[in-house]
Structures are given as C-alpha cells and as structure tokens.
Amino acid sequence: MWIVNGTSKGPYDKNSCTSCNEGYAFMLIRHESRTGQCKPYTQLAATQCGILGADDYWNEANKQAKVCTKVLSSLQPINLASIGLRTDAIKGLNGYSAARCNIRKETTCDKNGLCFNRKQVKCIEVCKLSQWGSVVHNGDTAKALEVSDCDPAVCDGAAGPIVCRTTAMME
C-alpha cells in the first residue's frame, strides 16, 4: 500500500515514486498524490501525462487539464573556444565538442488550456565531436553526433550552465 497524507491509495506500483535516484527523472502521473515514475535519461525522449487534480493517466485528447513530463538526454554541438574555454583534450572535428545535457520538462495545463512550463537541465559531460553522422528513421534523415573522450569535469563550475543553454532553450 502507498499512503499519502494518511490515506491509503492502493498497492505500491511503478507509479508510486516520489523522488528518483541520480540518472533518473521523475515523471509526475498521479497529480493529486504527487507520485509518478522514475525514467532513465536516454536520447529517445519519454513522455507521460496525468490528469490535473486526479490520480489517473491522461488518455483523452479532449481533457485539457493535464500535467505532462518529457525527459531526455541530448547531445548539443558547441565550440568551447566561443565561450572562452580552452580544452584541447575534447576539441574535436572542426574545433567542436558536444555537451551531453539531461533535460526534464514539465508542462501543466489548466481546464481552459492555459499552460505553464518548468525545466530542469543538467550538464552531464562534454565530449570530443568525432563525426557528424545521420540517422534514417521511417524515411526521414536526422543529424546524429558521434563523440569520444568525454569529460564530466567540464560541467563543473561556470561552464556547465553555458554549454547546455541552447538545449535548455529548445527542449
């Protein structure tokens, strides 16, 4: 059983989490109880929605009152010299590196369809850009980055928020 404010809510299940371990993102599903799932950050975005003010999944397109969470790990090309960072060890193809950023975006929409966003972005590591690649999926071609020699220490200090700024803006 999981209990919220002294009230039994049912058997504990994968949607009963209230916080997550490092490397996992909290995806709110049961809005009333403030519980949900812990999902690992991956390059493929994961999205979950719950009904605002209730403990149910959102699964009806006509219900506007909802809370949705999107999580992913993104690679963003960056020229570190442009921000004054001199790290030859991770300078790759054409002087570029790639920042790996974990992103969690939560969007809450009220019954009138007015929505608000909250984002959490964290720099995980910065890598040497090895190759501009491409991935074909269902006939569409998308750019993909190949990286090597990653260094999480570059994310410490002032550089961390700067290298993930574009990712934070776009996701």
At 119-163, the pLDDT tens digits run 999 999 999 999 887 666 666 666 678 899 999 998 987 788 888
Q: Across residues 17-36, what is the average pLDDT? A: 90
Q: How far apart are CA 30 and CA 88, in angstroms?
A: 47
| 67: CB partners within 8 A, 6+ apart | 28, 31, 49, 50, 52, 58, 106, 107, 108, 109
Q: Where are the domains of the chain?
A: 6-170
The pLDDT of residue 88: 77
Which residue in 41, 96, 100 sits closest to 76, CA to CA?
100
pTM value? 0.81
At 58-105, the pLDDT tens digits run 777 777 888 999 999 999 888 888 887 777 778 888 888 999 999 999
The pLDDT of residue 119: 94
Whole-number CA gyration radius for the chain: 19
